[in-house]
Each structure stands twice: as C-alpha cells, then as structure tokens.
Amino acid sequence: MESAASAASESEKRVGSEMSVNRVILVGRLGREPETRYTSEGTAVCNFSLATDESYKDKSGEKQKKTEWHKLVAWGKLAEIVQQYLTKGSLVYIEGKLQTRKWEKDGQERQSTEIVCQSMKMLGGGKREESKGEKPEPSEAPEIDDSSIPF
C-alpha cells in the first residue's frame, strides 16, 4: 500500500510538470520617452525602456551599483496611459510577462525578448507632476536589500 507522503509527492510531480509561470514584476525608471504607434486596426502599441538598479558590496567591501535595462511593450489602453502620463525618469511599478519575438532581416534570423506590460502603477515623476508647474527633484531609485523582502 502506498503511503500518503509518497502519493502526495507523486501528485506534486505531476502537477509541477504541467504548471508554468511567466510573471515579471519590476520597479524602475523609464530610460527614454515612450514611443507609441498604432496597428492597422487602430490598437495603440507603446515601446519604452526601464532601468532597474541593484546595489551590492564587492569582495573588497566597496559598494557597487549595477543597472539592468529592460525592453517593455504596452498595448491598447495601457499603451495610451503610458504615453500620456509617463516620461523619461518616471518611477513605475510594472507587472507583465516575458515574450520573445523572432523575425528575419536581411536574411538573418533575429530575436528580441521584451516584457509585455499587463499592469502599471505610477510611483512618481511623471508628466502629470510637471504639468502642475512642479519640477520633480531628481532622485535615485529606492534601494532594496534582501532584508526588506518579506519572503
């Protein structure tokens, strides 16, 4: 007779092999102005880049900062919101998924991996603040260390 623990383990293996997750969460600053264009059906497509920073200490104890750049794309109403409210330097929270596109150019196969935005929260420094006559103070992205992550 099979024990409950081994039955649960087998069940987890089956479920685990069938499951997958494609989820990206980023907090960072826009690296350039968003660029919006429209498909032939009239759907807005907005491309922009996002910088995330990581701070760490090297072997000699010196504080180092590493910036990672991400390509993002937003579609539809979200694309229009990004274009309307965000500008270079805006601090945003993004949730989305990774997507790799492939195409051929000049006989060579190319590919690009980008984050398809599914939701976005403005955290400050956007066009709305500038339109009120307030100039946002330049600031660095907040530092997040492992001790501040609750899991």
Q: What is the mean pLDDT of the chain?
A: 82
pLDDT confidence band for 124 (50 / 70 / 90)? confident
Measured between alpha carbons, how far is 128 from 14 in angstroms, rounded to an integer? 50
What residue ranges in the chain does DSSP mark as E strands? Answer: 24-30, 35-38, 44-57, 63-75, 91-105, 108-124
Q: Is the pLDDT of residue 118 over 90?
A: yes
**Spacing of C-alpha 115 from chain mean position:** 6
Q: Is the dihedral of CA 107, 109, 115, 117 positive or negative?
A: positive
Q: Is the pLDDT of residue 135 over 50?
A: no
* CA diameter of the chain: 75
Whether pTM exceeds 0.85: no
From 53-62, 104-113, 131-140, the region with the lowest mean pLDDT: 131-140
How many percent of the chain have pLDDT more than 70? 71
Measured between alpha carbons, how far is 86 from 99 in angstroms, rounded to an integer? 22
Q: Is the pLDDT of residue 137 over 70?
A: no
pLDDT at 47: 96
In this structure, are residues 57 and 63 in contact, taking their beta carbons and an 8 Å threshold?
yes
**Mean pLDDT of the 94-107 span:** 93
Q: Is the pLDDT of residue 116 over 60?
A: yes
Summarised one tens digit per residue, pLDDT across range 29-63 is 999 999 999 999 999 999 999 999 999 999 999 99
Residue extents of the structural domains in the chain: 21-127
When the candidates are 3.30.70.20, 2.40.50.140, 2.30.42.10, 2.60.120.380, the CATH number that belongs to 21-127 is 2.40.50.140
